[in-house]
Structure 1
Amino acid sequence: MTGNRDWDAEADVVIVGFGGAGACAAVEACDAGADVLVLDRFRGGGATAISGGVVYAGGGTDHQHAAGFTDTTEAMLDYLRLETAGVVSDETLGRFCAQSLDNLRWLERHGVPFEGSMAPRKTSYPTNEHYLYYSGNELAPPFSEVAPPAPRGHRAKGKGVSGKPLFAALRRAVARRPIGVRTQTRATRLITDGERVVGVEADEIRGTLARGLHRLLAAANLKLNIYYRPLGRILDRPIRRFERDHVVRRRFRARRGVVLAAGGFVFNRPLLARHAPAYRRGSSLGTIGDDGSGIALGEQVGGQTDRMHRVSAWRFYNPPLAMVEGVLVNNRGQRICNETYYGARIGDHVARQPDSEAYLIIDERIRAEAKRQVPRQTLWFQRLQAEYVLRIGHEKAEDLATLARRRGIDAGGLVRTVESYNADARAGTRDRMGKDPEHVRPLERGPFYAIDCSLRTQPAFPIPMITLGGLVVDEATGAVVRGDGAAVPGLYAAGRTAVGVCSESYVSGLSLADCVFSGRRAAAALTEQRHHEKEET
């Protein structure tokens, strides 16, 4: 084994990545008595800090009760069993649901604010007056038929997108504890002693000036990537130059084990093209640290990957709510799905269409109502998108056949689809896609509009996406698993670096909830191991 003199620092648990999963693992491990060291390529936060800050929780939370809703663990499990489609065992999913209440309260004990102000309408993300909402497909069949619907999207309280206050609370929780945090330190290799992972090799940026410039470039890159990736890409090269030319090699010993919590790979376009080519034109959500490097570290020591083809792409056109009264079709004019579905499920349906193309067809009545709803139903970023698609980001024609030809849709197919939809709407029969009657009304008042909802980024109408696959882990402990089913000794993974509850299908809040669940799980396994070893000595 490498001698102690060769280590720059050591801890019981070394965590690679200081986002949601890494922070939860660090706090949990420290509170269980472990000495913890966290490494992060940038300054911490990861995708969590720029997310919506929504945690999927149910089973009767305080906030559900405050809003007047009854929920049970069994109903949550029945719903998620349909959404997750067996990506984890029933036992693990049941444990996730059973621990949901405690995980939400755990976050609150560490300063994350939630409340039970219920959103008055179905939306992709509520306004600043509301912090509890239906964040998935709970209200739509077949989901509503297998489990009583309940709002489980718990948005951290804070204006705008709430990932910032959520992670700020976790950062403070880490800072209040004797947890070492080494920022601007990029993990490059896992150190092994035989088959066991015993440490991490990393490149740490050295020098006050280099660290300051790297920090400024990374912050600017993060902002630009959110709004317009081509501009953000300009800063990728100088950031990497600092990480190559102004670093010192460090070696950190992990006495108990290493936890990989370095995010997914949505910013690694070659890897995305290899595993999920239909999504290569979407908008990456996260940081350039979401490049698959954490997953690659696990693979280098024998870790197996799975679900690498699963990507969640969010095609949101609600709010304003009137938009769900339109008809979503592919380029053959065929209807795709229930238009009230959550944006990630809509994105899944779009990805399965010819050329990943889809178009929302609305008439003048819908457009006028949507324009009236925009001011009161949207936050600023939603408002920009809505104004764009309603005013200029569409194709327009006086009749459906002309609209189809201008937009490149099969005209006969579109006319037949809308005629059938209108006939059912007038007859009051059950919508063929399960859309609730309140939002099924004929499209008959021209002009008509086609809004491009294809799986491609457009000016002011992005399609954000995250990757869902990663390292296969033991579902009881979070230990990274090899191809033969055995665990890699000393190595664990959490969050989007690992296969988890949301690795088949995503609804808003499920990834952050899985970060809490999987981060705490890995920490518990490591500290329990430490406890047993103390007993033996």
Structure 2
Amino acid sequence: MPHREWDAEADVVIVGFGGAGACAAVDACDHGADVLVLDRFHGGGATAISGGVVYAGGGTPHQRAAGFDDSTESMLEYLRLETDGVVSDETLSRFCAQSLDNLRWLEQHGAVFEGSMAPRKTSYPTNEHYLYYSGNELAPPFSDAAAPAPRGHRAKGKGVSGKPLFAALRKAVARRPIAVRTQTRATGLVTDGDRVVGVEATELRKSFPRWLHRALSAANRKLNIYYRPLGRMLDGPIANLERGYGEVRRFRARRGVVLAAGGFVFNRPLLAEHAPAYRRGSSLGTIGDDGSGIALGESAGGRADRMHRVSAWRFFNPPLAMIDGVLVNNRGERICNEAYYGARIGDHVARQPDAEAYLIIDARTRAEALRQVPSQTLWFQRLQAEYVLRLGNVSGGDLPTLARKRGIDPDGLARTIAEYNAGAAAGRDRMGKDPAHVRALSAGPFHAIDCSIRTQPAFPIPMITLGGLAVDEATGAVTRGDGSAVPGLYAAGRNAVGVCSESYVSGLSIADCVFSGRRVAAALTEKRFQEEQA
């Protein structure tokens, strides 16, 4: 849309006040830019309700404090396998080389990390531990390619640590002359020819609609975490407030607009179009993760890419004994190494018939897992473990009975368990699982835990989308189908294709938010821009 008079202007206008937007705002401001941030709600995005884990390596102070040696080269070799060429080797090398500095940068702005190492492999450590193996570093083929090292740096804080991590970034923004306009929903980009020169938005300004919108959106965000059907009931009232009371505003960006408005996991039609296997999973984020930021970029000629990639986290560890089980599809065929990180397990499940999977355990495994629950879990993990071990499973006195009750092919399951038990007797596993967790399943009754990609009571499968706008990997500029940049438009975080857009391990998305947010800040504060303004 063409431009008209402006309601406010800044060198840099950022759409979205989550992890990527906050990092871009702070760094751009510190390098001399005048910054304006717009957010549909009150900031935080998916970062604030995440686990607050930052993937970092190369010998961080916290790795060294825990007694681990790591190198940038080992981190790079590991991530080459995980990312599978989604970004160039040059970009991935730069991401790894900047890892130490980006972690230090977060600490300088108030985030707290420490080297208290988790004593066992887990999907998320307890409150006594803030460093852990957050990916597949210990499992082949990854452990064969690179020396394993724990690189999951969890921000210090009780429960899930996204809240204190984003609180540090919010305070860093507040300490600077950065204008933040909340309850302001970006609706379009303003162009001058083919250049993006600003943002059109609707802003809630009257006190009562603002108060009600804030209350409803806070409740919506909380309900979406625990039970999306209740949260969905508030989507309409929130949108109605924005339509009925939102006042049109236009904000000029003298240097550029940064789209940092998240992914599209709350846009079910778009999810069904691009990634139908994931349509029954649980969305993690806010209803602002609806693909609107990606659509804004496309409206200016940008190209979306990797839209089929979704990270769905099927965690059944902790308790650790659960990985002694065997994960099968509805044909009874084994799916993958059960010690893999939950997102890789989710990837394997998504490729199965009907995206169905079942973890088979025996009486011994179940009893050991129940003993481990109190010491190995946080409260939300404890609820999940107690549910699946006591109520949320199908049981049978023998494997054929279990298979028939669960809808698994009995012959296929019998062959799989026989092969697995033979491997256990020989001290090996064809899928490379640690021999300590390869133990014969022979003590009935047997149990099948539904690990399919579908949300269940007390056993959700959280997911985020990984695709977004294609960007220039040196600057973060949004690119067209022919590879040329859209002048004046940039993207960061899950609004853009990045390091984690093929495969996800805990901490890689937030680390990419820091990396890509600071990248666009650097591009928008280079000397040539300052000279143009002179």
TM-score interval w.r.t. the shorter chain? over 0.9
Q: CA deviation at 1:293?
A: 0.3
Aligned pair 1:413/2:404, yes or no? Answer: no
Rounded to whole Å, the distance in 2 between the matches of 1:58 and 1:198 is 38
Q: Which amino acid aligns with 2:337?
A: N
Where 2:433 maps in the other structure, the secondary structure is coil
Rounded to whole Å, the distance in 1 between the matches of 2:354 and 2:429 is 26
Q: Tell me the residue number matched to 2:247.
A: 248
Where 2:311 maps in the other structure, the secondary structure is strand
Q: Which amino acid aligns with 1:252?
A: F
Q: Tell me the residue number matched to 2:531.
A: 534
Q: Tell me the residue number matched to 2:150.
A: 151
Q: CA deviation at 1:77?
A: 0.2
Q: Tell me the residue number matched to 1:476.
A: 474
Aligned pair 1:10/2:32, yes or no? Answer: no
Q: CA deviation at 1:206?
A: 2.2
Deviation digits for residues 373-404 of structure 1, max 9, x if unmatched? 00000000000000000000000011001000
Q: Which amino acid aligns with 1:283?
A: S
Q: CA deviation at 1:536?
A: 8.4
Structure 1 unaligned spans of 5+: none
Q: Tell me the residue number matched to 1:99.
A: 98
Deviation digits for residues 46-81 of structure 1, max 9, x if unmatched? 000000000000000000000000000000000000
Deviation digits for residues 392-446 of structure 1, max 9, x if unmatched? 0000011001000000000010011001110110122x21110010100000111
Of 136-145 and 418-427, more deviation after overlay is shown by 418-427
Rounded to whole Å, the distance in 2 between the matches of 1:108 and 1:122 is 26
Deviation digits for residues 177-216 of structure 1, max 9, x if unmatched? 0000000000000000000000000000121000000000
Q: CA deviation at 1:533?
A: 4.2
Q: CA RMSD in A?
A: 1.1
Q: CA deviation at 1:506?
A: 0.2
Q: CA deviation at 1:88?
A: 0.1
Aligned pair 1:135/2:134, yes or no? Answer: yes
Q: Matches of residues 150-229 of structure 1 in structure 2 within 5 Å?
A: 150-229=149-228
Q: Matches of residues 41-56 of structure 1 in structure 2 within 5 Å?
A: 41-56=40-55
Q: Tell me the residue number matched to 1:387.
A: 386
Rounded to whole Å, the distance in 2 between the matches of 1:342 and 1:427 is 25
TM norm structure 2: 0.99
Q: Which runs of 4+ in 1 moved over 6 A?
A: none
| 2:444 paired residue among 433, 443, 446 | 446
Aligned pair 1:84/2:83, yes or no? Answer: yes
Query: May I ask how many residue pairs the two structures share in their alignment?
Result: 534
Rounded to whole Å, the distance in 2 between the matches of 1:286 and 1:383 is 22
Q: Matches of residues 6-405 of structure 1 in structure 2 within 5 Å?
A: 6-405=5-404
Where 2:90 maps in the other structure, the secondary structure is helix
TM norm structure 1: 0.98
Deviation digits for residues 423-480 of structure 1, max 9, x if unmatched? 110122x211100101000001110000000010000000000000000000000000
> Aligned pair in 2 of structure 1 residues 535, 262: CA closer, same or farther (>3 Å)?
closer
Q: Is the 8 A contact 2:52 2:507 kept in 1?
A: yes
Q: Which amino acid aligns with 2:531?
A: K
Where 1:6 maps in the other structure, the secondary structure is coil
Rounded to whole Å, the distance in 2 between the matches of 1:276 and 1:252 is 34
Deviation digits for residues 334-384 of structure 1, max 9, x if unmatched? 000000000000000000001100000000000000000000000000000
> Aligned pair in 2 of structure 1 residues 532, 197: CA closer, same or farther (>3 Å)?
closer
> Aligned pair in 2 of structure 1 residues 308, 535: CA closer, same or farther (>3 Å)?
closer
Q: Tell me the residue number matched to 1:504.
A: 502
Structure 2 unaligned spans of 5+: none
Rounded to whole Å, the distance in 2 between the matches of 1:269 and 1:536 is 43
Where 1:474 maps in the other structure, the secondary structure is coil
Rounded to whole Å, the distance in 2 between the matches of 1:437 and 1:76 is 25
Rounded to whole Å, the distance in 2 between the matches of 1:435 and 1:536 is 59
Q: Which amino acid aligns with 2:11?
A: D
Q: Which amino acid aligns with 2:430?
A: R
